[in-house]
Amino acid sequence: MNHQMRQEQDRVKRVIEIIDEQIEILENETGRRKDEVVDIRRNFWDEVKVNTDTFDDFLETVLSLRQQAQVLTVSQSTHRQAVKKLSSLRRMKAKPYFGRIDFLEEGDTSAEDIYIGIGSLTDKTGEDFLVYDWRAPISSVYYDYPPGPAEFETPGGTIKGELMKKWQYIIKDGTLESMFDTSLTIGDEVLQQVLGKRTDNFMHNIVATIQQKQNQIIRHDSGKLLIVHGAAGSGKTSAALQRIAYLLYKYRENLNADQIILFSPNTMFSSYVSNVLPELGEENMEQVTFQDYLNHRLSDEFEVEDPYQQLEYVLLHKEDDNYNARTNAIIFKASNHFFELIKSYRSSLETSGMIFKGIRFRGESIVTSEQITERFYSYEPSIKFHNRIEMLTDWLKDQLKKAEKRERTKPWVEEKIELLSKEEYQKAFKYLNRKNDTKEESFRNYDEEKEALTRMIVRKRFRGLRRKIENLQFIDIKAIYKQLFTNPSVIESLTKGALPEDWDEMSRSTEEMLSEGKLNYEDATPYLLLKELILGFQMNTSIKHVIIDEAQDYSPFQFEFLKRLFPAAKMTVLGDFNQAIFAHAREHVNFHLLTSLYGENESDTILLTQSYRSTKPIIEFTRGLVPPDREIEAFDREGEIPALTIVEDRKELHQHIEWRVEELKKKGFHSIAIICKSAAESEAAYSGLTGVKDLKIVKAGALQYEQGLVVIPTYLAKGIEFDAVIIYDASSRQYGDESLRRLFYTACTRAMHELHLYSVGEPTPFIENNADYKLIE
Ligand SMILES: Nc1ncnc2c1ncn2[C@@H]1O[C@H](COP(=O)(O)OP(=O)(O)OP(=O)(O)O)[C@@H](O)[C@H]1O
């Protein structure tokens, strides 16, 4: 060990001793704080003098209550902080830091050594930083600059200086294994080591090796919208998660994890990324899928199709008579054109077209649908649409009151009274007493009793109707949506006669779907948008950041929806159009349209071109699968060249795959995926590969991220990575259609270290001019 290494190892030791000391202090402190909190809770009421005799006494009681509550809040929060610090120190103990910069600030005479780790550590005095948190302002120099002039932003302004040297450390279990002067080393050795590792089950943080471009994403802090377009494996998800950790650090005084929401593609993906923030000592943000939201809002009314069911249809039902019409509908209903059309349709409802459900009671009409429509359009058109709906609601409530009065004299009520059981009678009596705020022992006379019971019975029977009116359920959204497709004059006036392609077939199938109580995935967001535009938007103003991963899967419609749903939030959108596997996004190549969401001035775009996941040979091969218009750079990590094996039939295919899996296992790969085109192909592969031990099948709806050896359809493997990937059948029969190019690319880009393709017969034309694989015959 050379002198410098020895010195640095001594420092690591010293820092760990300090961490140990601080851990001990904090353990005592958290124990004490905990007892304190328990004590305050237990004796809460002893400290509060409850006296409400006079107004002054009452006021004093309130004040002392508030004071006591404040004491409790302060103690709880101090305890929480101490626990957080303690767990951060425990994590830092094994690896207190990973980097160092020697920074000479302008005007100073000597450089300061800044050590960077996952948390900060000061000496006893609390003044000298032994380790800086990777999110501290000065740490950005580590990620942003090579040696030479450098600067960083602080709340007080820009600090300029010179980065003299930059070091990376590999510390394991408190021992310094190696250190690199990164100003001298060629290539990034630490990154090589990190990327060369086998994957375990979950995604990990990348704080030690964040790249400059990624750092821009992490620390981006202006405007409402940040768009990140990046190649497969370029670290979009990683950067998004580090960004959340950064925001939670920077705004720790007024931003909590539950004010950040991450839209992930599915629940399994959510579990795959769930370790990253806790590793960094932060709480996980909220994670949802768009489908969760659709189900939450629409599953009472419809059976809502999910995106994977839609994709299975697109992949497997080419022979269907309606196939073209459906795929055209998928594209059209996700388009900006349709979005504008829905908005215009909603505006046109101001003057005509609203459809209401008539209100009936015991088989008789109270108000007919026509009467409601007439009433609605009788209001002054200058009155705002939503105010007119409010007026209509009040009018309907009046109609209901009148009907209620009428019902009281009807024979059914008397019958009902006679049939009241003793218990019901008692209940009714109690209810009336409560309602009238009296404590009568019994009814004063028969008439009073009858009158009271009549009122109560009728009122109770009307309760459901009243609630429906208050909830605006008398507006027939389903019929209004349907009308757009079934009433030619509506669409003609909106499109001035220029009907979308396949409109007739689209209308017919939409009508059929709605009549069956179903909602296709492509209809769900437009339907919900129309519903919200008519009824008023449900908003969530507490969310401050919305992060959308795999954003190429979202339609303009869905973005618009999310913007309205979270009006107080900033949006970070991450995606890759080369992986746009859903039919609606086939023609899109970038997120340019998105800038209109908040306007150019509020939007920034960052491109990530360097891919980190896969070895150089895999990147070179996968790069050849997609149009060359977007740069994809390989990180210089060697590995085996992807291999294509052509087999004659399924039997041979299964034999080869079984053999390959064994070989990969022998090489020490733990996570191996046999990736299929669809769920149907996955099922077939799973039942055919009987000789493969410990094989699991991953299906849509899987909650936990399960690795090891899996058979999985591409759309579920999206966003995830595996040590080795086997493409189950890369034949032209499976991937012959140009529309499947992106699906194929997505499947191949899941591989970190090895990629093996098999083809039953002629291989896919996507690799026709690709020279970056070896053929095994
Ligand atoms: N700066 C980095 N340091 C170390 N590893 C990195 C870095 N950036 C990315 N990686 C690794 O590269 C892999 C791919 O990252 P990630 O999944 O975030 O990429 P992505 O752009 O979201 O990919 P995809 O679009 O294919 O889902 C992960 O293993 C991640 O840890």
Q: Report whether residue 235 contacts ligand 1, using a CB cutoff of 6 Å.
A: yes
Angstrom CA distances, 198 to 172, 191, 587, stand at 17, 13, 36
pLDDT tens-digit series, residues 120-136: 999 888 888 999 999 99
Range in 9-23, 450-464, 547-561 the model is least confident about: 450-464
Closest among 665, 674, 724, 664 to 697, alpha carbons compared: 674
Q: How many CA atoms lie within 13 A of 363 on its CB side?
A: 1
Is 257 within any annotated ligand binding site?
no
Q: Report whether residue 236 contacts ligand 1, using a CB cutoff of 6 Å.
A: yes
| Residue 362, C-beta contacts closer than 8 angstroms, at least 6 positions apart | 407, 412
| Residue 345, C-beta contacts closer than 8 angstroms, at least 6 positions apart | 353, 484, 490, 494, 530
Quote the tokens at residue 730. Answer: 């890369």
Ligand 1 atom, smallest distance to 214 CA: 1
Sign of the CA dihedral with 76 first, then 81, 84, and 89 last: negative
pTM: 0.87
Q: What share of the chain is helix, strand, coil (3-state, %, to 5)?
A: 50, 15, 35
Q: Which residues pair with 676 in a beta bridge?
A: 713
Bigger pLDDT: 202 or 640?
A: 640
Calculate ∠ Cα 327-333-339, nearest 5°.
160
Closest among 563, 520, 559, 562 to 335, alpha carbons compared: 559
- Cα–ligand 1 centroid distance for 236 (angstroms): 6
Q: Which residue bears the tokens 């305050």? A: 40
Is 231 within any annotated ligand binding site?
yes
Cα–Cα distance measured from residue 426 to residue 438, given in angstroms and rounded to the nearest whole number: 15
Cα–Cα distance measured from residue 43 to residue 404, given in angstroms and rounded to the nearest whole number: 53
Cα–Cα distance measured from residue 764 to residue 409, given in angstroms and rounded to the nearest whole number: 78
Closest among 661, 649, 713, 651 to 688, alpha carbons compared: 651
| Residue 490, C-beta contacts closer than 8 angstroms, at least 6 positions apart | 345, 348, 353, 483, 484
Q: Report whether residue 96 contacts ligand 1, using a CB cutoff of 6 Å.
A: no
- Cα–ligand 1 centroid distance for 719 (angstroms): 9
Cα–Cα distance measured from residue 719 to residue 237, given in angstroms and rounded to the nearest whole number: 8
From 193, 209, 213, 237, the mutation candidate for ligand 1 (largest count of ligand atoms within 8 A of CB) is 237
Range in 2-6, 22-26, 748-752 the model is least confident about: 2-6
Q: Is 712 helix (H, G, I), strand (E, B) or coil?
A: strand
Quote the tokens at residue 757. Answer: 């393709």
Cα–Cα distance measured from residue 510 to residue 413, given in angstroms and rounded to the nearest whole number: 44
- The helix (H) or strand (E) run that includes residue 56 is helix 55-94
Ligand 1 atom, smallest distance to 204 CA: 31
Residue 647 has pLDDT above 90, yes or no: yes
Sign of the CA dihedral with 63 first, then 68, 70, and 73 last: negative
The pLDDT, as a whole number, for residue 437 is 67
Cα–Cα distance measured from residue 392 to residue 386, given in angstroms and rounded to the nearest whole number: 10
From 170, 203, 238, the mutation candidate for ligand 1 (largest count of ligand atoms within 8 A of CB) is 238
Q: Which residue bears the tokens 């609203």? A: 354
pLDDT tens-digit series, residues 330-358: 999 998 889 999 999 999 999 999 999 99
The pLDDT, as a whole number, for residue 696 is 94
Range in 71-85, 248-262, 517-531, 591-605 the model is least confident about: 71-85
* pLDDT category of residue 39 using cuts at 50, 70 and 90: confident
| Residue 347, C-beta contacts closer than 8 angstroms, at least 6 positions apart | none
Q: Report whether residue 209 contacts ligand 1, using a CB cutoff of 6 Å.
A: yes
Contact of 574 with 262, CB cutoff 8 Å: no
Ligand 1 atom, smallest distance to 608 CA: 21
The pLDDT, as a whole number, for residue 69 is 74
Which amino acid type is present at position 187? G
- The helix (H) or strand (E) run that includes residue 61 is helix 55-94
Percent of the chain with pLDDT over 90: 64
* pLDDT category of residue 322 using cuts at 50, 70 and 90: confident
* pLDDT category of residue 95 using cuts at 50, 70 and 90: very high
Q: In what order do the strands lie in the sheet with 286-288?
A: 286-288, 260-263, 545-548, 570-575, 225-230, 603-608
Is 701 within any annotated ligand binding site?
no
- The helix (H) or strand (E) run that includes residue 652 is helix 650-666
Please tell me the residue having the least CA distance from ligand 1 atom 3: 209
pLDDT tens-digit series, residues 459-509: 888 999 999 999 999 999 999 999 999 998 898 888 887 788 888 889 999
382 phi/psi in degrees, rounded to 5: -75, -15
Q: Is 673 exposed, middle or buried (0-12, 13-18, 19+ CB in 10 A)?
A: buried
- Rounded to 10 deg, the angle between the 521-535 and 477-486 helix axes is 120
* pLDDT category of residue 754 using cuts at 50, 70 and 90: very high
Cα–Cα distance measured from residue 548 to residue 269, given in angstroms and rounded to the nearest whole number: 13
SS3 assignment for 678-693: CHHHHHHHHHHCCCCC
| Residue 155, C-beta contacts closer than 8 angstroms, at least 6 positions apart | 137
Residue 102 has pLDDT above 90, yes or no: yes
Residue 447 has pLDDT above 80, yes or no: no
Q: Report whether residue 547 contacts ligand 1, using a CB cutoff of 6 Å.
A: no
The DSSP secondary structure of 548-597, one letter per residue, reads: ESSGGGS-HHHHHHHHHH-TT-EEEEEE-GGG--SGGGTT--SSGGGHHH
The pLDDT, as a whole number, for residue 495 is 85
Q: Average pLDDT of 378-401?
A: 96
Please tell me the residue having the least CA distance from ligand 1 atom 26: 232
- The helix (H) or strand (E) run that includes residue 646 is strand 643-647
Angstrom CA distances, 652 to 343, 758, 777, stand at 56, 10, 12
Quote the tokens at residue 773. Answer: 């694989």
Is 237 within any annotated ligand binding site?
yes
Ligand 1 atom, smallest distance to 549 CA: 22
Residue 70 has pLDDT above 80, yes or no: no
Q: Which residues pair with 547 in a beta bridge?
A: 262, 572
DSSP state of 224: S
- Cα–ligand 1 centroid distance for 751 (angstroms): 12
Residue 583 has pLDDT above 90, yes or no: no
Cα–Cα distance measured from residue 240 to residue 163, given in angstroms and rounded to the nearest whole number: 27
Max intra-chain CA distance, the chain:
105
Q: Report whether residue 238 contacts ligand 1, using a CB cutoff of 6 Å.
A: yes
